[in-house]
Amino acid sequence: MSENNRKEVVFLPYKASAWNSLEPAWRAACADPEWDVYVIPVPYYYRNLDGSLRDMQYEGNLFPVTITDYNSYDFPNRHPDVILIHNPYDDCNLTTSVHPFFYSKNLQQYTEKLVYIPYFITDEIEPDDTRAVYNMRYYVSAPGVIRADKVLVQSEKMRMAYIDYLTTFAGEDTKDVWTEKIVVSPFR
């Protein structure tokens, strides 16, 4: 929480081209006088074939909003109320990676609420569409989805697809967890 007892929210985009997924939530936060809002673009890397990280990429200068440099924000001491991410993969993506400090497994210790908003919109998934359900394994069971306190999805149909997939993935006894965690985004 910020020093003046206002609520603090941090947005952690990595690619400027995906900012549109976080922008509606950012606009809502900026419109609320109780919130201090920070956009902190994070560095990312492309991976070599062996999985090692190549040269760092940073797109902070490409965002259409005022940003805070990722080196200047003190996550442990500021401990923002909410952190929003749009990259759920942590170290599981074979082609890219955000800087390891910004993996969900690290971020969850610095906030009371970690929120994931997908950076993409998919076609609605029908339960009998085995191909679409199979492909959910590449994005629904990602670490940031599992670790997030809230996951904001595009529709009620997609919410149910996430809940069904994650219940199958993690076990029937986890259904209540996913039912509470996965919600329809009010920002889409």
CATH number at residue 169: 3.40.50
Strands 82-85 and 113-116: parallel
128 occurs within a structural domain? yes
Predicted confidence (pLDDT) at residue 133 exceeds the cutoff of 90: no
Pick from 24-33, 59-68, 72-81, 135-144: least confident: 135-144
Please check whether residue 117 lies inside any domain of the structure: yes
Q: How many folded domains does the chain comprise?
A: 1
Q: What is the pTM of this model?
A: 0.93
pLDDT in tens, 77-109: 999 999 999 999 999 999 999 999 999 999 999
Half-sphere exposure of 24 (CA within 13 A, CB side): 12
DSSP bridge partners of 37: 9
| Residue 1 maps to a domain | no
Quick one: tokens of 78? 């500021």
